[in-house]
Structure 1
Amino acid sequence: MGKLSATSVKAATRPGRHGDGDGFFLVIQASGAKSWVCHVQKNGSRRDFGLGSATKVALALARERAREIRTWVEMGLDPLFERRKLQGIPPFRQAAAKVIASHGKNWRNEKHAKQWLQTLDSYVFPEISDLQVHDVTGPMIRNVLSEIWLSKPETARRVRQRIGTVLDWVYASGYRDSEAPVRAVTKGLPRDGCDFTALRL
């Protein structure tokens, strides 16, 4: 089957997959909707990645996106995570603001949101405010907590939990390729510190 062209894409109406080569397809639904898909296979695993609507994304751009995905897969990278990176990974402060906003509707009053922000502003933002969330590491979190671990155990407990909540949102949103490095940070802190297992949001 020959490669697709802008003319053939516009004229195509038959539902199904129309191949361009190397796992790149124009997909036409029964409704007539057209979209681009890149099919990749590596180590026995098969995945399809949507590349956008064919009415909004030009053929040349869709081919370029497909090439990027194939390259990422060959390099052992997760295309979904890499595409998120291209969209711009937020700094920690921006991610925290999104979390506070999303949880705010479930909080009984504004006081809780202000407490969240005040805690982060006092103990977390001075250290990792402008750091992109995928670069936040366990040792960085441990360093934040070490300043208040013994002197302000209740505050330290809340700081740890709130950092974890932000990074859980980050992971779920695809901005990190690993879960939050918060759970094990207490191993590097004094044993007389507070118990972090009880508090939830």
Structure 2
Amino acid sequence: GGNNERQWSASLRDYAMPKLARKRVDAINAADVMAVLLPIWSTKRQTARRVRQRIGAVMKWAVAQGHREDNPAGDAISAALPNNRVPPKHQRALPHAEVGAALARVRGSGAYLGTKLAFEFLVLTASRSGEVRQARWEEIDRDGAVWTIPGKRMKTGREHRVPLPPRALEVLAAAARLFNGDGLVFPSPTGRVLNHSTMTKLLGDLGIDAVAHGFRSSFRDWAAECTDAPREVCELALAHVNSDRVEAAYRRTDLFDRRRVLMADWAAYIA
């Protein structure tokens, strides 16, 4: 689609063109491609990979057209690029026994109330930061105590229902008083979506050694160690659809109630 093409040309324009534009396609060698990739390989790995892929696509086209013999962005440079595998970003997380104290510290801080409420809601629902920051009132059924996140906002691409324990409903009531209960549930002070680093920055300011996303791990560890909830229930609580068993569980109806119990227990544990 158009967007993809724009990204294509943008990445080539910004990174490849300055170094390669003046060269004939048959004169570009592995060293030239390395000169494009190395400056961004460790800082913008995702972008660098895309640029490499796109230069490679152009070169494969050139090979097919008979303009050159090889693809200088292919295997020729793999060994020369530092540490090819991206280490998974370790999401710093607290041991689950420390989550309640961290929550109390955030609550008692002088930070912007919208951020504090969003953070507490994130922990109570074991949700991803983006899901909470972009949450809208029309997704929330306070009477039924359920938050239905539309598929377009989910990493899995499918609608996800989140059971809301009583404390999460109190957080929502506070947010409704603050922000007139319309549009975004937790807007920034300027009425926009909170910045993605806001919650993690608040934790850092308070000396809490964790990132917002890490609280999903704390929840998962607690569920495994302190409850007898079956694995599928825990995985569904995190909206992970990563196996056939979980996939099958998605189609059964009883699990929402099981998850409601699990989330209520979690809320009680961190209260």
User: Would the TM-score normalized by the shorter structure come out above 0.5?
Assistant: no
The structure carrying a bigger strand percent of its residues is 1
Instruction: Report the TM-score when normalising by structure 1.
Output: 0.41
The structure carrying a bigger helix percent of its residues is 2
